[in-house]
Amino acid sequence: MNKKAILIIGFLILGILSYSQKTKKDVVVTDGVKNNITSTNTGMFEGSNSLKANSYFDKAFAFAESEDFDNAEKFYLKAIKEDSDFIECYDNLGRVYRRIGKLDKAIKFYSKSIELYPNGIMAHQNLAVVYTIQKDFDNAIKHYKEILKISPNNVEGYFGLANSYMMTLNFDKALENSLKTVSIYEETNSHYLNEGYHLTGLIYYYNDNKSEAKKYLSLAKDNGAKINPSLESELFADNSDSNAIDLVTKEDYAKYEEKFIKDFNWIFETPIGVNPTKRKKTNAFLMQWMIGSPNVSIELSEKIVTYMDCGDCLMIFIGGWTKYSLGTNKFSKLEANLVGTESVIEFYMFNKSKIGKNNKIEKFIKLKEKGKLEKHLKSNM
């Protein structure tokens, strides 16, 4: 599972806006969330009065369609040079930069589009998606709210707000917006209704209301949604004959190896503060399995694991090391330390608001940004 596990599994920021001109949508998957980025051919706004700019635009659009993003970028920039008010170019350049991972540039060009046309719903939506990719949910929320100012009944805005508020653990506002989403989908008989039910069920689940979660996820299933297997097992499987886990023999540890990986993924991917009862129980199993496993040997260097004051981070390091060990036939202590440390960095960055600033982990982040993390770890082993 991708980051944030069940919490974000299968969310769709659904592209339901209807445009008369040619549009193109592609799905961005981040943290298990499927987001739609939209681009447009000329005609969304007023296009350009420059024949040369339009010619460059058409070439850029064709290159983007064939995923030749270098040439797409080149010709969109040429079009903008000919006509600096060519709004469609800024929108589509945002998509190109998102596709090649230049998110800051994507933000720059979507923002320019909004500067030229503040009521551009598509640019606000796409910009919110990019902020979601960056885990900047405050700015994502800002732009979903702008969508609703422009179009008060726009379901994209409500769905995006529900998703973003849930990611910041503001469950009351998340639920308020997801129920509004469901209401609009029901009124319009939308084929996206299953996604509204799914989102609402997840919000209830992570707010520890499993009875309502099961109700809405059942409705989602009835309408064709696929539920994450872990969640399916927890809420819908018959666990009446389940027994306590015994870890005694080598065979016992082998038997629960798959469960270890699944449970570690959940701990790693689920924000701190969500389902604390399950987190405590899962951490206990993981620690028991890692300490007793005959096939995993973990070494902690106090020069590498400098953040002993962060218990959640320490668990992520040990779990990352262990997961790496289980997945390789050629074990490398350096690689194990690298995987563990990078896991901590990712976990910390997503949960920083809950963990608080940790200067020792911040140091590792800077080393990674400079490409010096591996060298640092090697010198301190």
pLDDT at residue 222, as a whole number: 87
State the pLDDT at residue 43.
46
Sign, Cα dihedral of 214, 216, 219, 223: negative
Q: Indicate the residue type of 78.
A: K
> What is the rounded CA–CA span in Å between residue 363 and residue 368?
9
The DSSP bridge partners found for residue 28 are 35
167-172-176-181 Cα dihedral, nearest 10 degrees: 30
> What is the spatial order of strands in the sheet that 12-13 belongs to?
12-13, 33-40, 23-30
User: CA-to-CA distance for 99 and 108, rounded, in angstroms?
Assistant: 14
The answer to whether 200 and 180 have CB atoms below 8 angstroms apart is no
Q: Binning pLDDT at 50, 70 and 90, where does residue 79 land? A: very high
What pLDDT is attached to residue 276?
82
What is d(CA 26, CA 181) in angstroms, rounded to the nearest whole number?
22
pLDDT in tens, 195-204: 999 999 999 9
| Whole-number pLDDT of residue 348 | 92
**Comparing 15 with 136, which gets the higher pLDDT?**
136
Long-range contacts of 212-220 (CB under 8 A, 24+ apart): 219/194, 220/194, 220/195
Ordered by where they begin, the domains of the chain are: 5-235 (1.25.40.10), 250-379 (no CATH)
Per residue in 216-227, pLDDT (tens digit) is 999 998 888 888
Rounded to 10 degrees, what is the CA torsion of 371, 373, 374, 380? 150
> If we measure between CA atoms, which residue out of 232, 209, 179, 172 comes closest to residue 10?
232
Measured in residues, the chain has a length of: 381
| pLDDT tens-place string over residues 2-38 | 333 333 333 322 222 222 233 455 544 444 444 444 5
Residue with tokens 């009521």: 119
Q: What pLDDT was estimated at residue 22?
A: 38
In a 3-state reduction of DSSP, which class is residue 216? helix
> What is the rounded distance in angstroms from the CA atom of residue 31 to the CA atom of residue 216?
22
**Rounded CA gap, 381 and 374, in Å?**
11
In angstroms, the CA 193 to CA 219 distance is 9
Interval 137-180: pLDDT, tens? 999 999 999 999 999 999 999 999 999 999 888 999 999 999 99
294-308: average pLDDT: 87
CA 126 – CA 21 distance, rounded (Å):
17
Mean pLDDT of 299-318: 89
Closest CA to 310 of 356, 276, 268, 265: 356
Q: In angstroms, rounded to a whole number, what is the distance separating the alpha carbons of residues 325 and 179?
A: 44
